[in-house]
Every structure is written in structure tokens, then in C-alpha cells.
Structure 1
Amino acid sequence: MPDASSPTRLHSLEFHGPLSAARANRLVVRLAAAKPATVLDIGCGWGELLLRLVDAVPGAHGVGVDLNREDLARGRSTAAWRGLADRVQFVEESGIGTRRGPADVVLCVGSGHALTDAAPPDHLIGALRELRRLVNPGGRVLYAEGFWERPPTVLELSRMWPDAAAHDHCDLARLTDLAVEAGFRPLWVETAGPDEWEQFESGFQADVEEWLAANPQHPRAAELRHNADSHRASWLRGYRGILNMAYLTLIPVS
């Protein structure tokens, strides 16, 4: 039975994004093949992908940067449980202008906003330029970013997040072009599938939904129910099938 005081936060999610375990394993194998000694994760959350990559490369060390204290604590706890506490550090600080790099592998999975305060659409250019600065020669960058599968209509935008605009994202071709313009070659271009989105969106809400079912009269229930219903409507009536996530494995040009 969930704790009556408040729901747990995102504990039904393995990754904070539409990323399956199978895809994560393929990404880790591909990135580990370069035998990185250092890994930097910008906007790491609880750092599941960071931990898996460091674990796959004997002797590698990693740093995860984020501002969410609860996620960072979860990352440290998981690192200790897996015997990686001496090789992975989680730090609470902004990624903008970070001096944590350069690293052999830089992860930025759905966290380009953590690298720049530029507004859309310039945030994509700013994030990619920062990633180019943060990766060592011959290294790898995993950049996961949202893109439009097709241009959203005005009605569809109105059903998404507050102030959603067409320039919030570009299409996949333009996103990849921007990576090339920033000084990368795209080693691998892949996108999330419908199953990954459903796993993420359902997992994102699952802890709250379980708590609401068990605590319908709690003083916080009305607020949490409104937030959960609004988020679900935003997904199912707004960006479902329109917004997708690209996973770009990038190599810096010498």
C-alpha cells in the first residue's frame, strides 16, 4: 500500500524518458566499444544510463550533473548498491557553462535545456555547441532530443504543454543537420518507438495513480488528480504520435 503522506516519485520508471531496456543495452554496448575512461552525464536525473555504461567499462569513472536533489540521492543509492560508488559521482549543480568536461563520452538524454538558457529554437544550437566543447577528441556524445514527426496543428499545440509552439522542436532531418553543423558526424540515428512512449508515459504517472486510488480523500488528492489528468490529456490528446525522441550517437570531427 502506498504511503498515505505522498506518492513516491517516478519509482515505476527505469529511465526518465521513452527508452527501453533493450535500446539502453544497445547504446551501452556501442558507447563502451570506444573504451571511455571518463563519462559525463548532463541532466543525469538518477543516472541509470551513466551507471550502466561505467559498469560496462572496467576502470571508467563518471560524473552526473543535475539540480534535482531527490534524483541525485536515488542515483547515489543505486551506485552504492551496485558497487560503483567509488567510480560515479553525482553533483548538484547547473550544467550551463559546466567545467566538468571534457570527457570521453558525454550523455545528454532529453536534457539539452540543462546546457543552455537560450529559448527555442536556438536552444538546440546552444546545446550541441556545448556538447562539442565537452567531448574529448575521438570521443562519443549521446544526444537525445525531442523532434516533430510532422508539423503539429494549432489545435494539437493547444492540447500539449502550456505555451507549446511549433518552434519548440524541429524535424529529425533538421536536428541531425544541426549536429553536423555543430562539428559532429552522426554515427547512429534512431528514434523511440510507440511501446517506449507508452512505457514511459504510463510509468511517469503510475506512482501517483496508485496513490490516488488508495487515498482519494487526502488533502492533496484534488491537486494531484488534476495534475495527473492534465498530463494524461496532454499526451493522449496532444503530442502522442507527433512528438518523438531521437537518440543521436555523435562523433566529434577532429
Structure 2
Amino acid sequence: MEISPAIPRLTRLTFHGPLSEARATRIIDRLVRSEPRSVLDIGCGWGELLLRTLEAAPAATGAGIDLNAEDLARGRANATARGLAERVAFYEESGADTARGPADVVLCTGSSHALSGVQPPDHTAAALKALRGLVNPGGRVLLGEGFWQRTPSPAELAVMWPDASANEYFGLADVVDLAVAAGFRPEWIETANNDEWEEFQSAYRADLEEWLAAHSTDPAAAKARERAEQQRAGWLRGHGGVLGLAYLTLIPVG
């Protein structure tokens, strides 16, 4: 659902997902232990995790891939402001069959669907196969992948997103098994906690809710209000406490 471009978009989000500052720091510390020289971020959005990884690995250069031109522009501006413009490039293109790799560190958080045209839930296995070919020997992959914490009820599925299905995701153990089958060892397995989900979900809508409070009679308000209410219901009555996000730090098997 498109709404007025005059409404601020996602300015309250640091990362485009349920990821705290503390967890991001811990993840990056693990990713850069091997002193990477190259970092590839697939479905990077504005590339905050990519930029922070480059800041922690001063010898590395990076590439971010996404289809959202607005997010990519935000990433380029942030890179310039932080003195990283000479070390990172952002590309408006698909991650499927990308030729940007291989890299020493590959990031793919909440974007496994971008690596193939395979439909859920088999997109997870397809993404892991693609990631195995994109990481250099001795490197690391960070996969942020959705999983069901429990089987969603029909009522919960009805308010999540169009065509939501109980078969759309695997459980956490199954996702890890798929990573092993694809040729990885799971160095670290962790999942977003409730605080991270609450921060993400609230920040995701904060710009919109603030705008609606000040522009209730604006011609764009009806559509914006419908969007905000659908998103809020999708979380509070749908996937909240049901959909999880795993952060898997993966090592390719030699």
C-alpha cells in the first residue's frame, strides 16, 4: 500500500530488523575476527550493519545490494558522513545470481528471498546454497532468517500479511539443519528477543503514527491510517511471539 511521499519513512530505525545495538556489536566482533578484506551485504537496505562492519575492519571494502533506491541513497549519505564512501559501493540490483561475490564476510539479514525465485519455505535452502558459493574459504556468513516459534493459528495467519501460511517458515532447529546440509558449521546461534521486536515494530511505525497525530484531516490520512492499523494488528494479533528471527553466524566447511 503506497502512501504520500511527504510522510517520513523509517527514520526512527537504526537497523531494518529486530536487532539491538548490543547484539549488533557482538555479531560484528565475531565477523571481523578473521580480519576480512571484503564484505558483501545482500538486501542491505541502507546498509547500517555493512557500514559498522567496515568500521570494525579497516582493511576491508564493501558492497551492498538492494532494490530500494531510497534506502540505497540513505546508505550512500551515511557512508559519506562517516568517511567510508571510498570503501563501500551500493548497487540497485537483485541478489539472485549476483556476481558481486565471493567475499570474506557475507551479510544476509531478513533477505534470503532476494537470493532466488524459490517460494517459501524452500527459499531458505536455496539461499543457503547461494550463500555457500558467495563466501570465501575461512570467511563468515551472517544469515538473519525467519522461523516459526510455534505453529500460528488460522486467526493469527489471517492478520499477518497477504497469503500468510503455516508452511511459510521452518522451526529454528530445521533452519540450522539446512545450514549444515548446505556446507556450513554454525559458529553461533541466537535469536531476536522480545525487546528487540518491540523496538523494531514501534520504530517501524513511529514516523507514520506521529504524522497521523498531526495531520488527521490531510487527504492522505485515511490511507496512512489504514496502513498503520494493518501493520500494528499484524504484529499484536498476528506474528508477535510467533515469528522469530534467527541470527546464524556460519563458517563454510573447507
- What is the aligned partner in structure 2 of residue 218 from structure 1? 218
| 1:22-37 mapped onto 2 (5 Å cutoff) | 22-37=22-37
8 Å CA contact 1:65, 1:94 repeated in 2 = yes
> Counterpart of 1:237 in structure 2: which amino acid?
R
CA distance in 2, matches of 1:203, 1:156: 22
C-alpha deviations, 1:214-245, integer Å up to 9, x for none?
11111111001001001100100011101010
Distance 2:166 2:127 in 1: 19
Contact 1:135 1:141 in 2 (8 A): yes
Unmatched 5+ stretches in structure 1: none
Q: CA deviation at 1:34?
A: 1.2
Residue in 1 that maps onto 2:236: 236
Q: 2: distance between equivalents of 1:181 and 1:16? A: 28
| Aligned equivalents of 1:123, 1:192: Cα separation in 2 | 21
The farther-off stretch of 152-161 and 229-238 is: 152-161
- Matched-pair contact (CA < 8 Å) for 2:36–2:59: no
In the alignment of these two chains, the number of paired residues is 251
Give me the identity figure in percent: 61
Report matched runs for 1:72-221 at 5 Å. 72-221=72-221
SS in 1 for 2:212: helix
CA RMSD in angstroms, aligned pairs only = 1.0
Q: Partner of 2:247 in structure 1?
A: 247
Give 2:43's aligned amino acid.
G
State the Cα deviation string for residues 23-76 of structure 1 (Å, max 9, x = none). 001011111111100000000000000000001111210000000000000000
- Give the Å deviation of 1:159: 2.1
Counterpart residue type for residue 61 of structure 1:
T
Q: Give the AA of the match of 1:137.
A: P
CA distance in 2, matches of 1:122, 1:192: 22
Which residue in 1 is equivalent to 2:15?
Answer: 15
CA-CA distance at 1:8 after TM superposition: 1.1
Structure 2 gap ranges (5+): none
Q: Cα offset for 1:5? A: 6.7
Tell me the residue number matched to 2:64. Answer: 64
Name the SS of the counterpart of 1:159 in structure 2. helix
Checking the alignment, whether the CA contact within 8 Å between 1:6 and 1:211 is kept in structure 2 is no
